[in-house]
Amino acid sequence: MTLRDALGWLLVGAAALYALVAVPAGGELTTMINGSIYASYAILALSLALIWGYAGILSFGQAAFFGLAGYVYAVAGLNLESTPLAAVIAVAAAAGFAALLGYFMFWGRISDVYLGVITLTVSLILYRFINQTAGEEWTIGAAPLGGFNGIPSTPILAPPGHPDEPFLPEQIYMLAVAALFACYVICKLAMATRFGRAVIAIRENEGRAELLGYDTRLYKLGIFTLGGAIAGVGGVLFANSVFVSPNMFSLQTNGQVIIWVIVGGLGTFAGPVIGCFLLMALSTGLGSLDAGPSFAVLDPNLVMGVVLTLCVLGLRQGLLPTALAFGGRLVAKARATRGRGAAELRRPAEERP
């Protein structure tokens, strides 16, 4: 493990500790609920960071798995005794759906941009479908799908064996933060395995990976399914933070995840999470401005759109990689001033032609 990796883990651990100990201590209810929402969205961002940043698969409809898991959780939770079981079913459903969709796309050799359009379309299909389920006929067991309004009666997770004692908002918050941390660790570990190295290699050069004997479709399917499952975890937690509604599948939600990942930095895990927190805070702030006396010059959509466009045009690497590179240059400079000889010997690979 390099020094940088160790520092990274230290920072992430500290952030998790802060979120689990310091934040709840002064916890107001709204902070807890907003915190849960942030964490659920951050998990969604993490799933896209994995799929897009590491595997190079342009899943522009990642919210499909998020929303699907949310809805499956709500419906199963309303029909079953056990909400934890419903959560497991929901995550499995998201993973299964991702596997099915992935099979279609990877075995059909659908590439790049087409893949982006198809995944987005799938998410929008679900959006259109759920949106029109307002009628009585759209009831699954004890769960009315509720159309545009969603399912306000989405059940809250309860500990196994105690279905009548659902978690309190601060417990949901703790759960969400812990889940975010766990998903981060899973992503990190997955990328350090043989499977993860193969996935990255396939992103770099699919043809070469095939010539080395990798059935690239299987690896893409595997990582896509894992991404679907992680997005599903986010969806279940979101359902517990607020309640499920078609908005989970919407074009805006899909767009936002992409913005978080781009702003935070493709090819990192912490970056998109940070991007998610920053931009969520920004749009929450703008949203509260919006509620003010008929003064709405800074519409959240406008700001997000401009941020995305400028990021693509300018800040090509995203916040975290840019910051890391800047830090790296500072360190190199410090070394260079300390001893020129040493700096010559240690000339990093980056400076070679």
Name which position in 18, 104, 148, 326 contacts another protein (CB under 8 A): 104
Closer Cβ to another protein, 29 or 281, answer by number: 281
- How far is 49 from 273, CA to CA, in rounded Å? 9
Size of residue set near another protein by CB under 8 A: 69
Name which position in 87, 118, 175, 187 contacts another protein (CB under 8 A): 118
Instruction: Work out whether 114 is an interface residue with another protein (CB under 8 A).
Output: yes
Question: What mask of x and - would describe binding to another protein in positions 308 to 347, judged by CB under 8 A?
Answer: xxxxxx----------------------------------
Name which position in 16, 149, 188, 299 contacts another protein (CB under 8 A): 299
Name which position in 245, 250, 253, 268 contacts another protein (CB under 8 A): 250
CB of 149 to another protein, least distance (A): 16
Closer Cβ to another protein, 165 or 347, answer by number: 347
Name which position in 197, 329, 333, 335 contacts another protein (CB under 8 A): 197
Question: Tell me, what DSSP letter sits at residue 250?
Answer: S
CB of 193 to another protein, least distance (A): 8
- The first and second tokens of residue 51, run together, are 């799929």
Q: Side-chain half-sphere of 67: how many Cα atoms within 13 Å?
A: 29
Q: How far is CA 326 from the centre of its chain?
A: 26
- 3 state DSSP class of 244: strand
Instruction: Work out whether 74 is an interface residue with another protein (CB under 8 A).
Output: no
- How far is 108 from 168, CA to CA, in rounded Å? 46
Instruction: Work out whether 162 is an interface residue with another protein (CB under 8 A).
Output: no
CB of 179 to another protein, least distance (A): 28
Instruction: Work out whether 132 is an interface residue with another protein (CB under 8 A).
Output: yes
- How far is 41 from 231, CA to CA, in rounded Å? 9
Spatial contact of 42 and 182, defined as CB atoms under 8 Å apart? no
Q: How far is CA 282 from the centre of its chain?
A: 18
Name which position in 70, 144, 300, 318 contacts another protein (CB under 8 A): 300
CB of 257 to another protein, least distance (A): 11
Instruction: Work out whether 121 is an interface residue with another protein (CB under 8 A).
Output: yes
Spatial contact of 257 and 44, defined as CB atoms under 8 Å apart? yes
> Which residues, numbered 253-272, are part of the site for another protein (CB under 8 A)?
255, 258-259, 262
Instruction: Work out whether 134 is an interface residue with another protein (CB under 8 A).
Output: no
Query: What is the identity of the amino acid at 177?
Result: V
Q: How far is CA 233 from the centre of its chain?
A: 10
CB of 126 to another protein, least distance (A): 9
CB of 50 to another protein, least distance (A): 16
Name which position in 208, 329, 340, 346 contacts another protein (CB under 8 A): 208
- The first and second tokens of residue 279, run together, are 């931009």
**Angle value at C-alpha 138, between 64 and 162, nearest 5 degrees:** 75
**Angle value at C-alpha 73, between 68 and 79, nearest 5 degrees:** 130
Instruction: Work out whether 1 is an interface residue with another protein (CB under 8 A).
Output: no
The residue whose two tokens read 């509604």 is 245
Total residue count of the chain as it appears in this document: 353
- How far is 181 from 235, CA to CA, in rounded Å? 16
Tell me the CA distances in angstroms from 90 to 94, 202, 230, 295, one per residue in order. Answer: 6, 29, 11, 41
Spatial contact of 61 and 121, defined as CB atoms under 8 Å apart? yes
- How far is 12 from 335, CA to CA, in rounded Å? 26
Instruction: Work out whether 303 is an interface residue with another protein (CB under 8 A).
Output: yes
CB of 89 to another protein, least distance (A): 23
Interface contacts to another protein, rule CB under 8 A? 58, 104-105, 107-114, 116-118, 120-122, 124-125, 128-129, 131-132, 194, 197-198, 200-201, 203-205, 207-216, 250-252, 255, 258-259, 262, 296-297, 299-313, 349-350, 352-353
